Amino acid sequence: MKEGEMENGGRKKGWNFRPSAELAAPTQITIRGILGTLMSNLDGGDERPRIQLGHGDPSSFPCFRTSPIAEDAVISAVRSAKYNCYSPSVGLLPARRAIAEYLSHDLPYELSPEDVFVTVGCIQAIEVTMAVLAHPGANILLPTPGFPIYEARAAFAGVEARHFDLLPDRNWEVDLDAVKALADENTVAMVIINPGNPCGNVFSYQHLAKIAETAKKLGILVIADEVYDHLTFGSNPFVPMGTFGSVVPVLTLGSISKRWAVPGWRLGWLVATDPHGVLKETKIINAISTYLNASADPATFVQGAIPEILGKTGDDFFKKTTSMLRQTADICYDRIKEIDCVTCPYKPEGSMFVMVKLNLSHLEDIYDDVDFCSKLAKEESVILLPGCAVGLKNWLRITFAIDATSLEDGLGRLKSFCQRHMKKQLKDEKRRIKEKQI
């Protein structure tokens, strides 16, 4: 190094390191980031309890506590002292076998343990999928609205994200014409989330069949995020995308985080639901193993508990969860109908969320969804997720995975907030109509 490049303390001028371009941009929107900002805006002076309708984690509510069978399974696994070791990078064989059996219940063919890779929650399954499919110029089709981890992981992997819409007036079905228009010879896959986050929709068998046919024609893989598997309480039952695995290869992503309400246990899976072995032939399966050889595994004792958790949890636990969600989804839908400034195009039938549209033209001093949520947090201590966090500006995502009393309280406060911020002209009109009726 030349003399002139040194500063006083003997340090080289400037540093050689800098953050990766994908991570340096402060524009990356994440659900956690936005909810964190809203929480920091809360007015400390409000005596009322804070009501969280922005989260996707009901584990802290006593009514959503996981099954004792799951708790006991983990305790026994720890006590057995058999699971203090490192795990094989693809997961413990009994856990892989249990996941294969669990998913095969709903499929027209049998999965084998070799089809299953155990991951650190569904999030790692997303990470692995994006990394494995990345090649120069590759693009992937993602839903709008969607789950922003896909955008983030596609960006880290260097895969271009292209977006198709889910259609609110068609029960949030995939706009398949848009999918066909977006795809080209560099398109590798399309992502569906079913049951849906953030829309609470459940795809019908017929719609899934059309998705499979479309993907087959385009020569692309379907990535099916089924982290809310079986959390359905409407007219459409849950049908796994893997049902159509003989039409088009499917990578199924899931976890115990949502159905068992234990997102902190970090146990998920990435599964080749592909009876013709296309993914093996195209060496995708190899690449998954290679990637997992160089990453962290889920805790071995949680893997050790998986055969009990998946095999022994009784129907009573699942029924209790879905009937609670059915009840709170009803409350949510009914209360929102009574509020002028928001509309809900679709009554949720699955997952834990509903999307509602903000009618900004009815509101006096609200600029957009983020402004709405910040003021709502400040004035009412109610947290909602602004739609921009899931790709739909000026919508809101509301979670109904919360006890019914708190939900009623939160939606009541949402209603008074909307009434307070309604345009004066509309308020006057409403008053006149009311007076006429009297």
Ligand X SMILES: *Cc1c(COP(=O)(O)O)cnc(C)c1O
**The pair of three-digit structure tokens given for residue 340, joined into one six-digit string:** 């002028």
**Is the Cβ of residue 128 or residue 339 nearer to ligand X in the bound state?**
128
Does residue 122 bind ligand X (CB under 6 A)? Answer: yes
Q: Which is nearer to ligand X, 56 or 307 (CB)?
A: 56
For CA atoms 134, 124, 102, 60, the dihedral sign is negative
Q: Shortest Cβ distance from residue 268 to ligand X (Å)?
A: 4
The distance of closest approach from Cβ of residue 193 to ligand X in the complex, given in angstroms and rounded to an integer, is: 5
CB of 390 to ligand X, least distance (A): 10
Instruction: By CB under 6 A, tell whether 263 contacts ligand X.
Output: yes
Nearer to ligand X, 339 or 354 (CB): 354
Is there binding between residue 54 and ligand X (CB under 6 A)?
Answer: no
Q: Candidates 241-249, 255-263, 269-277, 332-340 — which segment interacts with ligand X by CB under 6 A?
A: 255-263
268 forms part of the interface with ligand X (CB under 6 A): yes
CB of 315 to ligand X, least distance (A): 22
Nearer to ligand X, 57 or 213 (CB): 57
Q: Pick one of 56, 58, 168, 304: the residue that binds ligand X (CB under 6 A).
A: 56
Site for ligand X in 340-369 (CB under 6 A): none
Q: Is 236 in the site for ligand X (CB under 6 A)?
A: no
Nearer to ligand X, 95 or 418 (CB): 95
Question: Is residue 232 within the footprint of ligand X (CB under 6 A)?
Answer: no
In whole angstroms, the minimum distance from the beta carbon of 14 to ligand X comes to 39
Please provide the DSSP assignment of 152-188 as one string. Answer: HHHHHHTPEEEEEEEEGGGTTEE-HHHHHHH--TTEE
> Closest approach of Cβ 148 to ligand X, in Å?
10
Looking at the Cβ atoms of 193 and 342, the one nearer to ligand X is 193
What gap in Å lies between CA 199 and CA 211, rounded to an integer?
18
Q: How far is CA 38 from the centre of its chain?
A: 20
Phi then psi for residue 79, to 5 deg, are -65, -25
As measured in angstroms, the least distance from the Cβ of 87 to ligand X is 17
Q: Where are the alpha helices (DSSP H) in 252-368?
A: 278-281, 284-293, 300-312, 315-337
* Closer to ligand X by Cβ: residue 131 or 363: 131
- Gyration radius from the chain CA atoms: 24
In terms of CB distance, is 102 or 417 closer to ligand X? 102
Residue 391 in the binding site for ligand X (CB under 6 A): no
Spatial distance between the Cα atoms of 308 and 262, rounded to a whole number of angstroms: 15
Q: Closest separation between CB of residue 8 and ligand X, Å?
A: 49
Residue 256 or residue 382: which is nearer to ligand X going by CB? 256
Question: Phi then psi for 300, rounded to 5 degrees?
Answer: -60, -40
Which range, of 121-129, 184-192, 337-345, 388-396, touches ligand X by CB under 6 A? Answer: 121-129
Contact 254, 263 (CB under 8 A): no
Residue nearer to ligand X on the CB measure, 225 or 274? 225
Of the two residues 161 and 360, which places its CB atom closer to ligand X in the complex? 161
Binder of ligand X out of 115, 127, 151, 225 (CB under 6 A): 225
Q: How far is the CB of 197 from ligand X (least distance, A)?
A: 4
- Of the residues 220, 223, 227, 262, which one makes contact with ligand X according to CB under 6 A: 227
Q: How far apart are CA 1 and CA 304, in angstroms?
A: 55
By CB atoms closer than 10 A (0-12, 13-18, 19+), residue 368 is middle
Contact set for ligand X, span 186-205 (CB under 6 A):
193, 197
Size of residue set near ligand X by CB under 6 A: 13
- Can you tell me the distance from the alpha carbon of 178 to that of 192, in angstroms, rounded to the nearest whole number? 14
When CB distances to ligand X are compared, the closest residue is 121
- Binding residues vs ligand X (CB under 6 A): 56, 121-123, 147, 193, 197, 225, 227, 255, 257, 263, 268
